[in-house]
Amino acid sequence: MSFPTRAADANIDAVQRAAYWPMPIARAVPAAGLALVITFSADHSARFGLLSFGVFGIVAGLALGAVTQFRLAGARVRPYFLTQAAVTLVAGLGALLVSSGHTSSSEVEFLFLILTTFAAVTGFLELYSGMRSRRRFVASSDWIGVGALTVVAALAFVLIPPDYRQNFSGPDHVKRVLDASVVAVGVLGAWAAITTVFLVIAGLSAKWGTQAIAASSPPEPGTTSHPAESENRA
């Protein structure tokens, strides 16, 4: 009969979800802060982009490292998320250092370099983690989604010409300038906003899924396992 196996699988899923759901919520907080700061700021210069991303990178890197340490203990993908946290932290520190010691022209170049490198490396690592743990860990589809979104952001940064500059007049007939830094900071804000929504939905879905599984399929004696054990056995 397959009922014991199904009950055991449901129990493993419940344990994984219970361990995992705080992780996307913790990651969503700095992303939400970045999205709000960019959205409600009229300054989308390269220096502002470096400053806002720098603070985000430090907070997000520390948060990701902490939740990975405690919520993915024993998982095969844990080293990739720790690497992702380190890259995010270093990118944030680099952005803050650049914003305080370079000219405006070099700031644009460094903004694109830091954002592109951050998005490409972390996006690939998260996408790879999701593909590697597919059908073995409940969060694999979440990681694939966030990873793909971040890789798309990296491609967007690559496609924006660093010397792009367009003069225009708004409805109030005030002359304004749309340049590469404005577009890049806008893309960064859009990425942060979409990522925030995705992570919040992922976290709440995992939490509610835990409750639904626990209510419909109580754990059987001897079936309790570590959240990452099913992934490690595969």
Report how far residue 93's alpha carbon sits from residue 38's, in angstroms, rounded to the nearest whole number: 19
Distance CA 25, CA 169 (A): 41
Q: Return the higher-pLDDT residue of 231 and 80.
A: 80
pLDDT band at 213 (very low <50, low <70, confident <90, very high): very low
CA atoms within 13 A on the CB side of 156: 21
68 touches 26 (CB < 8 A): no
Instruction: Return the pLDDT at 222.
Output: 44
pTM of the model as a whole: 0.81
Average predicted confidence (pLDDT) for the chain:
82
Residue 172 pLDDT level (bands cut at 50, 70, 90): low
At residue 169, the pLDDT reads: 54
Q: Is 57 left (phi over 0), alpha (psi -120 to 50) or beta?
A: alpha
The partner residues of 168 in beta bridges, in order of sequence, read 176
Bridge partners of 175, per DSSP, are 169
Read off the tokens for 137.
Answer: 């860990």
Q: Are 9 and 222 in contact (CB under 8 A)?
A: no
Angle 158-162-163 from CA coordinates, rounded to 5°: 150
Res. 10 pLDDT band, cuts 50 70 90: low
Lowest average pLDDT, out of 117-126, 181-190, 211-220, goes to 211-220
Mean pLDDT, residues 64-69 taken together:
94
Among 19-23, 76-80, 221-225, name the one with the lowest average pLDDT.
221-225
pLDDT band at 72, cuts 50/70/90? confident
- Quick one: angle between helices 46-71 and 180-216, nearest 10? 20
3-state class (DSSP) for residue 165: strand
Give yes or no for residue 121 having a pLDDT over 80: yes
pLDDT surpasses 80 at 160: yes
Question: What's the confidence (pLDDT) of residue 19?
Answer: 73
Q: What is the pLDDT of residue 32?
A: 98
| Helices and strands per DSSP (H, E), number in the chain | 8, 2
The answer, yes or no, to whether residue 209 has pLDDT greater than 70, is no
User: Which residues is 177 bridged to in the sheet?
Assistant: 167
